[in-house]
Structure 1
Amino acid sequence: MATLGSLVLGSPALQAQEDASAERLETVTVEAEALSLVTEGGDDYRVPQTSTATRLDLTPRETPQSVSTVTRAQIEDFKLDTLNDVLETTPGVTVERVETDRTYYSSRGFEISNVQVDGLRLPMPYNNVHGDIDTAVHDRVEVVRGATGLMSGSGNPAATVNFIRKRPTATPQASVTGSLGGDDHRRLALDVSGPLDDEGRVRGRLVAAGQDSDSYLDRLHRERGVLYGVLEADLTDSTQLALGHTWQQNDTDSNMWGALPLYDSAGNPTDYDRSTSSAPDWSYWNGETQRSFVELTQRLSDDWSLRGTVTHLDMVSDTQLFYIGTVPDADTGRIPNSFYLSKYDRHLEQWVADLHAKGDVEAFGRSHQMVLGSDWSQSRNQQSSLYAPAPEDLPPLDEWDGDYPEPDFGDPDFVNDATIKERSLYGTGKLDLADRWTAVVGARMSWLDTVGEQYGSSQDTTLDNELTPYAGLIYDLTDRASLYASYTEIFTAQTEMDRSGQYLDPIEGVSYELGLKADAFDGGADATLAVFRTEQNNVAQPNGSVNGREAYKAVDGITSEGVEVTLAGELAPGWQASAGYTYLEVEDAEGEATNTYIPRHLVRATTSYRPAALAALKVGARLRWQDDIERDRDVADGKTRQEAYALVDLMASYDFSDSLTGSLNLNNVTDETYLTSLKWDQGFYGATRHVMANLTWRY
Structure 2
Amino acid sequence: MLYKHKNSAFKLSLLTSLVLSGHAIANDTQDDLPLEKIAVYGQHHKNYITEEAQSATKLGLTIKETPQSISVVSRALMDDFSLDDINAVLESTPGVTVEQIETDRTYFKARGFEITNFLIDGLGTPQSSGSIQGTLDTAIYDRVEIVRGANGMMTGAGNPSATVNMVLKKPTYTTQANASASYGSWNNKRVDIDVSAPINDEHAVRAVFTKQDKESYLDRYETDKTIAYLAYEGKLTNDTLLSINYVNQQKDADSPLWGALPLYYTDGSPTDYDESTSTAADWSYWDNSAERIYVTLEQNLSATWVAKARYAHIKNEQNSELFYVYGTPDKDTGLGLTGYASRYDYKDTQDLFDLYASGKFELFSLEHDLSFGISQANMDFNDQSLYDYSTGNGFPAMPDLATWDGIAPEATLVDKPNGSDVQNTQRSAYVSTRIKLAEPLSILAGVRYTDWETKGTAYDVVQTRDDSELIPYIGTVYDFTESLSAYASYTETFVPQKELDINAEQLAPVIGKSAEVGLKAQLLGEQVFVTLAYFDAKQDGLAVALPGSLPSDTRYYAADGINSDGFEIEVSGRLTDDLSASISFSNLSIDGDELVKDYTPENQLKMAATYQVPFIDGLTLGANYRWQDSISRVQVKDPAGNALVTTKQGAYGLLDLMATYEITQNVGVTFNVNNSTDEKYINSLYWAQGYYGAPRNYSLSVNWQL
Query: Normalising by structure 2, what TM-score?
Result: 0.92
> How far is the alpha carbon of 1:593 from its aligned partner?
7.1
What is the CA-CA distance between 1:290 and the residue it aligns to? 0.3
1:44/1:73 contact within 8 Å kept: yes
Instruction: Tell me, yes or no, if the aligned pair for 1:586 and 1:593 is still in contact at 8 Å.
Output: no
2:164 to 153, 161, 165: 161
- 8 Å Cα contact 1:382/1:414 also seen in 2: no
Q: What is the distance in 1 between the residues matched to 2:217 and 2:382?
A: 34
**1:104–1:39 Cα change, 3 Å:** farther
Are the counterparts in 1 of residues 34 and 304 from structure 2 also a CA contact under 8 Å? no
Please give the secondary structure, in 2, of the residue aligned with 1:550: coil
Other-structure match for 2:35: 30
Return the letter of the residue paired with 1:500: N
Q: For 1:174 and 1:582, locate their aligned partners in 2 and report how far apart those are by CA, in whole Å.
A: 38
Q: Which residue of 1 aligns with 2:347?
A: 347
Q: Secondary structure at the match of 1:286?
A: strand
Whole-Å separation in 1 of the counterparts to 2:158 and 2:570: 25
1:40 shift after superposition: 6.7
- Given the superposition, is the C-alpha separation of residues 128 and 548 from structure 1 closer, same or farther in structure 2, using an over 3 Å criterion? closer
Partner secondary structure for residue 86 of structure 1:
helix
Q: 1:190 aligns with which of 167, 190, 193?
A: 193
Counterpart for residue 429 of structure 2: 425
Q: Alpha carbons of 1:613 and 1:305: their partners in 2 closer, same or farther (altered >3 Å)? A: farther
SS at match of 1:325: strand
Query: For each residue in 1:123-161, what CA deviation from the matched residue of structure 2 results, as whole angstroms up to 9, or x when unmatched?
Result: 323211001211000000010101111101201110000
Asked if structure 2 preserves the Cα contact closer than 8 Å seen for 1:526 and 1:568, the reply is: yes
Q: Which amino acid aligns with 1:132?
A: T
Q: Aligned in 2, Cα 1:37/1:515: closer, same or farther, shift over 3 Å?
A: farther
Distance 1:399 1:178 in 2: 36
Deviations 1:312-344 (A, max 9, x none): 11000001111112111233111343x321101
- Supply the distance in 2 between the matched residues of 1:521 and 1:100 (Cα, whole angstroms): 42
For 2:271 and 2:551, the matched residues in 1 are separated by: 46
What is the match of residue 529 of structure 1? 532
- Between stretches 480-489 and 674-683, larger displacement belongs to 480-489
CA distance in 1 between counterparts of 2:141 and 2:131 reads 20
Select which of 85, 90, 103 maps to 1:82: 85
**Which residue pairs with 1:650 in the alignment?**
657
Once the two structures are superposed, what CA deviation does each residue of 1:244-266 show, in whole Å capped at 9, x if it has no partner? 11000000001110000011111
1:638 is paired with a residue whose SS is: strand
CA distance in 2, matches of 1:279, 1:435: 62
Task: Give the match for residue 120 of structure 1.
Answer: 123
CA distance in 2, matches of 1:594, 1:116: 25
CA contact (8 A) 1:29 1:238 kept: no
Structure 1 residues 189-588: aligned runs within 5 Å: 189-196=192-199, 199-337=200-338, 339-389=339-389, 390-410=394-414, 415-464=419-468, 466-543=469-546, 544-545=548-549, 549-588=553-592
State the distance in 1 between where 2:99 and 2:595 align: 19
Q: Does the 8 Å contact 1:438/1:475 carry over to 2?
A: yes
1:107, 1:159 within 8 Å by CA — same for their partners in 2?
Answer: yes
> Secondary structure of the equivalent of 1:73?
helix
Say whether 1:134 aligns with 2:141: no
Distance 2:552 2:397 in 1: 39
Q: Report the Cα offset of residue 57 of structure 1.
A: 1.9
Cα deviation, residue 121, structure 1: 3.0
The answer to whether the Cα contact below 8 Å between 2:26 and 2:481 also exists between their aligned partners in 1 is no
Which residues in structure 2 correspond to 1:549-698 (within 5 Å)?
A: 549-588=553-592, 594-634=596-636, 637-698=644-705
1:171 partner letter: T
For the structure 1 residues 548 and 648, does the alpha-carbon distance in structure 2 shift closer, same or farther, using more than 3 Å as the test?
closer
Rate the CA distance shift 1:177–1:457 in 2: closer, same or farther, 3 A. same
Structure 1 runs not aligned, ≥5 long: 10-21, 23-27
Structure 1 counterpart SS, 2:154: helix
In structure 1, the residue matched to 2:55 is 52
Secondary structure of 1:561's match? strand
1:14-46 Cα distance to aligned partner (Å, 9 max, x none): xxxxxxxx9xxxxx98246xx998997751212
Task: Please give the per-residue CA displacement for 1:84-137, whole angstroms capped at 9, x wherever unaligned.
Answer: 010011111010000111000000001100111111233323211001211000
Any idea what the Cα deviations from partners look like across 1:550-604, whole Å, max 9, x if unmatched?
Answer: 2111011110001111111111112111111011011107xx5743111000111
Question: Which residue identity does 2:609 align to in structure 1?
Answer: T
Deviation (angstroms), 1:613: 4.8
SS at match of 2:76: helix
Q: CA deviation at 1:308?
A: 0.4
Offset of residue 616 of structure 1: 1.7
Going from structure 1 to structure 2, the CA distance change for 1:36 and 1:306 (only over 3 Å counts) comes to farther
Residue by residue, what CA displacement relative to the aligned partner does 1:591-633 show, whole Å, maximum 9, x if unpaired?
A: x574311100011111112245545221111000000000110
CA distance in 2, matches of 1:8, 1:521: 15
Rounded to whole Å, the distance in 2 between the matches of 1:59 and 1:36 is 17
Cα deviation 1:142-201 (Å, max 9, x = unaligned): 1010111110120111000000000100011111100000100000011111112xx322
Runs of 4+ in 1 over 6 A off after TM superposition: 35-41
Mean CA deviation greater in 575-584 or 38-47: 38-47
49-58 or 556-565, which deviates more: 49-58
Kindly provide the amino acid, as one letter, of the partner of residue 316 in structure 1: E
CA contact (8 A) 2:636 2:645 kept: no
2:273 and 2:402 in contact (8 A); partners too: yes
Deviation at 1:391, TM superposition (A): 5.0
1:394–1:682: structure 2 CA closer, same or farther, 3 Å change rule?
same
* Conservation of the 8 A alpha-carbon contact between 2:59 and 2:359: no
Alpha-carbon distance in 1 for matches of 2:40, 2:497: 39
Distance in 2, Cα, partners of 1:536 & 1:38 = 45
Q: Aligned Cα RMSD in Å?
A: 2.2
Identity, in percent, stands at 40
Q: How far off is 1:380 after superposition? A: 0.9
SS at match of 1:60: coil
Which stretch has the larger CA shift, 259-268 or 626-635? 626-635
The 1:305/1:412 distance shift into structure 2, 3 A limit, reads farther
The number of residue pairs the alignment matches comes to 671
TM superposition score normalised by structure 1? 0.93
Equivalent pair of 1:507/1:539 in contact (CA under 8 Å)? yes
